[in-house]
Amino acid sequence: MLSALTFKESLFTGALDGSGGKGILQGTHPFSSLPFARPCSGATIDAMVHLHDAGYKYLFSHADLVRELLEVFAPPGLSELLDYGTLRPETGNFITPAMKKREDDVVWSIELKGQRIYLYLLLEFQASIDKGMPVRMMQYVAALYDHLVRSKTVDPADGLPPVLPIVIYNGDTRWKHSPEVFDLIQPHPAVLTEFQPKLKFWLLDEGRFSAEYLEGLQRVMAAIFRMEHTHDTDDAKRAIRYLGRAVAQSPFKQTIDRAVMQWMQYRLSRKMPGLPLPELDDMLKGTEMLETNIDQWKAKAVAEGLQIGKLEGEARALQRLLSQRFGAIPMDIVERIAAAKLEQVETWFDAAITAPDIGSVFTPTQN
């Protein structure tokens, strides 16, 4: 278990990679080292990933937040060509060739110079990078086309509409693999090249943007990305303040403020289990109450870490003393020590100093 100092330092992890001006943010998920920041009994990684995906899916169910995303993070030269007044969500059961429903991804369409194009937002919150993502995306785009044709939304005789596949990746490790499916294909004779599939997705690796860069954008989606990669409580409060300012200054404030604050409540409840969250209306007025609650939450976490660190140390000391005095420790006694509270372990340690045998340390009168 962590020592008191190590526990305090490990509340948040993360560092700049020393890349000069950009200072790309690196590190692990914040809050993961807290003793009570663990999955509930029976929870799975897939389930927790689904919850995270659902939070983003909720955000991107709002047209103005999709517009925010495109205005700030779309491929260069695209945003100014889009007619945002034509932005609309596309619903349907998109089935991949493997017959798996894609329920957590989001599809919108929008006109570009009078031509309707489709935006496929794939929300990727896995613990590790999927090298086969281009293949997956190719399947999803094919499933989208299949849906459009089967529903008679488009007629293949008139041509298929363009699709912009976007992967929003939230993982800790920076994405270093190619977004092009062609790059996955093994070397082959040139005569086969024209027959190989070609599809590329637009990657948004949230952690690759430095805090300074995101804050300089002064946009809501940039503030959301910023909040996802905080590395201590002070940094978290700074990110929360930035998000609050960005929403207040947004031309879309009236349509997105409640959605963004609800998302922030949702994320904080998972990043900081046990954090008292102000009511939504109070959060819309400002972040001061929330920041105070974070300070109190951190103090409680540190205190619990000190207690846990001390208990671990006392338990190890007791087992060392028992083994030195009486030899091998029976497994039932090891289990009793592991389940005991600090006060009980201290009592057993004191008894072990003078006890004639190991059984005397754990007699009922000592419990």
- Give the per-residue pLDDT at 364: 60
Mean per-residue pLDDT for 315-342?
A: 88
Question: For the chain, which residues make up each domain, given as ranges?
Answer: 4-297, 308-366
26-54 residue pLDDT tens:
333 333 333 223 333 333 334 434 445 57
Bigger pLDDT: 141 vs 284: 141
Query: In this structure, how many other beta carbons lie within 10 angstroms of the beta carbon of residue 235?
Result: 18
Tokens of 265: 């409540």
> What band does 305 get if pLDDT is binned at 50, 70 and 90?
low
Contact at 8 Å (CB) between 179 and 167? Answer: yes
Closest C-alpha among 233, 300, 228, 234 to residue 266: 228
Residue 103: what pLDDT?
A: 56
E-only strand ranges, the chain: 15-16, 25-26, 82-89, 106-112, 115-124, 163-169, 202-205
Q: Which pLDDT score is estimated for 209? A: 95
Q: What is the pLDDT of residues 43-83, one digit of tens each?
A: 333 443 444 557 788 899 999 999 999 999 999 999 999 99
pLDDT surpasses 90 at 250: yes
pLDDT tens for each residue of 90-117: 876 666 555 455 555 789 999 998 899 9
